[in-house]
């Protein structure tokens, strides 16, 4: 006889996390690498695609000591000009009246950094019983195509919640992840959590949050006080 799984009781959760004054030590933390394929569950099972990075203690020593759970911050993707979500930096926009003739391959724009809000999990995803620790990033943007192999930089600013494995089913897990997305957007909207001028954050187009607030649309130059220059720095 099979016993039905009893749903976990609702847990009150704050809609904004971390202090209004900005990130506190040990944050911000940095992580970077090339996007690799993951478990294939994000898009197919959850409807929440993720970009995976290798968990490499040599490159990111702090990852061995940080507790498992959900974090938030900004992701910067080096998208090539051939990607449908590529947005050329202002310096490479063609001038009015410029020739529309095809450019030689050597003069075509190179990959440029695109900055988005993000939430990510670091841990074992106990709902699925993973044995290996993973770093799975949900970039808060609806992409028109995959970007496996692209360079990805993460500026991790704070902790959202501990990871859980006591969900009654996928619907509860998805609801919690969508709430994570809404928490991240609201938390990043405060000036000390918003990049300084010079870093453009692309927002909107993601199927996340509760559909009420904090989703944002379009793009915006940083108007806050957060030093996020590393996300777009060359080299």
Rounded CA separation 174/208 (Å)? 10
* Sole residue written with tokens 């440029």: 112
Rounded CA separation 143/188 (Å)? 21
Residue of 114, 116, 117, 115 lying closest to 183 (CA atoms)? 117
28 prior amide bond cis, ω within 30 = yes
Other Cβ atoms closer than 10 A to 82: 9
What three-state secondary structure class fits 185?
A: helix
Active site members: 136
């Amino acid at each position: 006889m099979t016993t039905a799984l009893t749903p976990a009781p609702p847990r009150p959760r704050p809609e904004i996390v971390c202090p209004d004054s900005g990130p506190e030590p040990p944050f911000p933390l940095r992580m970077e690498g090339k996007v690799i394929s993951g478990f294939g569950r994000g898009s197919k099972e959850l409807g929440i695609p993720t970009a995976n990075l290798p968990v490499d203690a040599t490159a990111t020593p702090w990852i061995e000591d940080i507790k498992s759970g959900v974090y938030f911050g900004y992701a910067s993707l080096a998208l090539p000009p051939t990607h449908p979500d590529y947005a050329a930096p202002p310096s490479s926009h063609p001038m009015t009246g410029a020739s529309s003739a095809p450019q030689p391959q050597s003069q075509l724009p190179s990959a440029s950094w695109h900055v988005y809000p993000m939430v990510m999990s670091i841990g074992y995803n106990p709902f699925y019983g993973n044995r290996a620790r993973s770093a799975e990033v949900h970039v808060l943007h609806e992409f028109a195509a995959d970007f496996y192999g692209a360079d990805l930089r993460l500026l991790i600013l704070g902790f959202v919640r501990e990871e859980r494995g006591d969900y009654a089913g996928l619907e509860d897990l998805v609801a919690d992840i969508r709430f994570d997305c809404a928490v991240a957007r609201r938390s990043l909207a405060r000036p000390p959590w918003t990049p300084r001028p010079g870093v453009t954050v692309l927002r909107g187009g993601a199927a996340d949050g509760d559909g009420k607030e904090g989703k944002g649309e379009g793009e915006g130059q940083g108007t806050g006080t957060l030093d996020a220059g590393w996300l777009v720095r060359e080299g």
